[in-house]
Chains A and B, each alone.
Chain A
Amino acid sequence: MRRPRWLIPWLLMAPGLLWLLAFFVLPNLQMVAMSLSSGTIGTGFQLTWEFNNYLGAFGRFPDNFRNSLVYGGLATLLTFLIGYPLAYGIAFRGGRYKNLLLFLVIAPFFTSFLIRVISWRIILGDNGPIIAIARDVLSLVPANFSIINTPLAVVSGLTYQFLPFMVLPLYVSLEKIDHRLIEAARDLYAGPWRRGGLVWGAAGGALLVGVLLFALGYADPSLDGLLGSLPVMVVGGFAGAGIGSLLVSESFVRVTFPLSLPGVFAGSILVFIPAIGDFVNAELLGNPKTQMVGNVIQGRFLQQNDYPTAAALSFILMAAILVAIAIYARVLGTEELTGGRA
């Protein structure tokens, strides 16, 4: 062969990598420069090392950052709680319907993202089925109770939109588990997880309900708020204890779950990143107070033409994500994510 062999892969990759350099790396460098620039769209932007842009961006929009972190975090938690049993069901009980079930999980992606959000406006709306059942049939909530235009609606939307991103990596890591390991655990007397399930389930259930009540603004962050939410937390505790002691086995806690941690890691990141940067759900399902960082970035870029602030906000968002991933990676520790042989 005439060409040196090491050159071939680089020749194959050159067009794609150059494209990514030009339209992924270069724009990000440009945005770093922009975040340190001053000027207006009329006069042009000059790089003046304006570090105040970052202080201003952070100082002026603390609520939006808080919303992004809280809603993105809740969506990640909820997609995990919903997605794990689903992925488990498909991987362990799917039988010959596995592929069909996986297809149904990703089927929502074949409709437009915006239309799915719009559908949730219909479902959660004041005339929608959920309110109708909770208010008119079960009389659980007062007549003026709304879901739409509240934090709950935004978190519901985010949870729904990104659930498949959680399920797919979870499924991949659950599917890979060697069933003989679980059988071995049973042979070694792993039985039902009665006591642990009761305690951890009760604590987890109560904590989850508490977190949801406070984060979604249904309870005030005060002693009264805490006392007021105690009854609901107790209900959550009972539910958690029931699930933990009846459905969870020791072999799951000691074998299956630890082996699926790479999937938990990948899934959480795949949900958290788009959720924290989203602005569509907050815009269409929320109210002005539920706006996230994404809404501010979008508005600054496309309406106010305040590019330096918006660029600084984007970088703070990126930094927040990288820090979150780094912490998370230290806790769970995995290199599954990139899928490469790095």
Chain B
Amino acid sequence: MSTARRMRALVDRWAVPAFTALVIGYLLLPVAIMIAFSFNDPPGRFNFVWGEFSLAAWGNPLGRPRLDDAITTSLGVAVVSTVAATSLGTLIALALSRYQFRGQGATNLFIFVPMATPEIVLGASLLTLFVATAQEPLRTLTGGALFPLGFQTILVAHIMFNISYVVVTVRARLQGFDRRLEEAAMDLGANEWSTFWRVTFPLIFPGIMAAALLAFSLSIDDFIITTFTAGTSNTFPIWVWASIRNNLPPQIHVIGTIIFVVAVGLVVISTIVGNRNNRAAAAVLAPR
């Protein structure tokens, strides 16, 4: 009996943590494989089977035709769409959480719907719109800017799908916001404008940064929507997709690894900065 009970206690204590560790390992396994296979010299054209250790791809990470163009496009789209979507989305989040107005519930729902729409539908519907702008009357209206497809149509799509994610992220930050800090600033004689820039903005800045990071990573990684809106231009994922029919060079894994390391680094930095700001706010409120 006592062995059975001890067994049970052991299971109770370790089953959940062991499972947690196992699943985390499972989640990270493909990332580990990616990093490992960036050092591979594959025996064929496809980097699916381990050949031997090699630094060749790391020495020449862009050494594939049109890969550098694809990465430039990816970065350009990601930077511009992040800035645009973060600005537009933060304004919506501010309006939704600072004001009470008619139509608020409907707006919340409207913001949510694009996130609940499958990417393939978002991409396909944008493609039909862009194709329709090749015909009148939309052609004159858009000045032909949206057809033929290219950098600008990828950008339009990425701003669109990023806005909702920014709104949700920034709004979550604003909901934990302590209005007493603003009241304190107003009591001390600051007007609305300087209260916003010197109190509100610094406090929600980590939320905006988190939203921007999310937008950037969604944009640089997006494949499904981009495949409908890219036309003949390449982003990095589109390049990988096109490449995979003929070959799979280890350069893909090298660039994937670089993106991973940079993204993780940025998140770590922004978390540290965010924690510091939180502590500063806590210090202001502490001696109540």
Q: Which residues of A contact B (CB under 8 A)?
A: 6, 8-10, 12-13, 15-17, 19-20, 23-24, 26-28, 30-31, 34, 41, 44, 82-83, 85-86, 88-90, 92-93, 99, 101, 103-105, 107-116, 118-123, 125, 127, 160, 163-164, 246-247, 269, 273-274, 276-280, 284, 294, 297-298, 301-302, 307, 310-311, 314, 317-318, 321, 325, 337-342
Contact = CB atoms under 8 A, between A and B. Distances in A.
A302 B248 contact: no
Interface of B is mostly: helix
A332 to B, nearest CB: 16
Contacts of A109: 217, 221
Interface stretch (B55-63, B113-121, B178-186): B113-121
Contacts of B264: 107, 110
B244 A284 contact: yes
A82 B128 contact: no
B107 A13 contact: yes
Interface string B149-172: 000000011011001100110011
B48 A121 contact: yes
A17 B131 contact: no
B259 A127 contact: no
Contact of A307 (B17, B98, B117, B128): B128
Contacts of A317: 118, 120-121
Interface string B16-38: 11011001101111110110010
B168 A280 contact: no
A105 B24 contact: yes
29 contacts: A9-B95, A17-B92, A19-B160, A24-B122, A27-B122, A27-B128, A30-B128, A83-B23, A86-B20, A89-B17, A89-B19, A93-B17, A93-B20, A101-B20, A111-B257, A114-B244, A118-B34, A119-B37, A122-B37, A123-B30, A125-B49, A278-B224, A279-B120, A307-B128, A314-B124, A337-B112, A340-B109, A341-B104, A342-B106
B256 A123 contact: no
A89 B118 contact: no
Contacts of A6: 101-102
B232 to A, nearest CB: 12
A8 B99 contact: yes
Contacts of A314: 120-121, 124-125
B19 A86 contact: yes
A155 B49 CA distance: 22
Contacts of A103: 267
Interface of B: 8, 11-12, 15-17, 19-20, 23-24, 26-31, 33-34, 37, 48-49, 87-89, 91-92, 94-96, 98-99, 101-102, 104-114, 116-122, 124-129, 131-132, 135, 156-157, 159-160, 163-164, 167-168, 171-172, 217, 221, 223-224, 227-228, 236-237, 240-241, 244, 248, 252-253, 256-257, 259-260, 263-264, 267, 271
- Which of B30, B101, B263 lies at the interface centre, i.e. has the most chain A CB atoms within 10 A of its CB? B30
Contact of B236 (A99, A112, A123): A112
Contact of B120 (A12, A247, A298): A298
B64 to A, nearest CB: 15
A302 B126 CA distance: 13
- Which of A83, A273, A274, A277 lies at the interface centre, i.e. has the most chain B CB atoms within 10 A of its CB? A277
Nearest to B171: A339
Rank and list the top 8 A-B pairs by shortest CB-CB distance, nearest first.
A340-B108, A277-B118, A89-B20, A119-B30, A16-B88, A342-B105, A27-B125, A9-B95
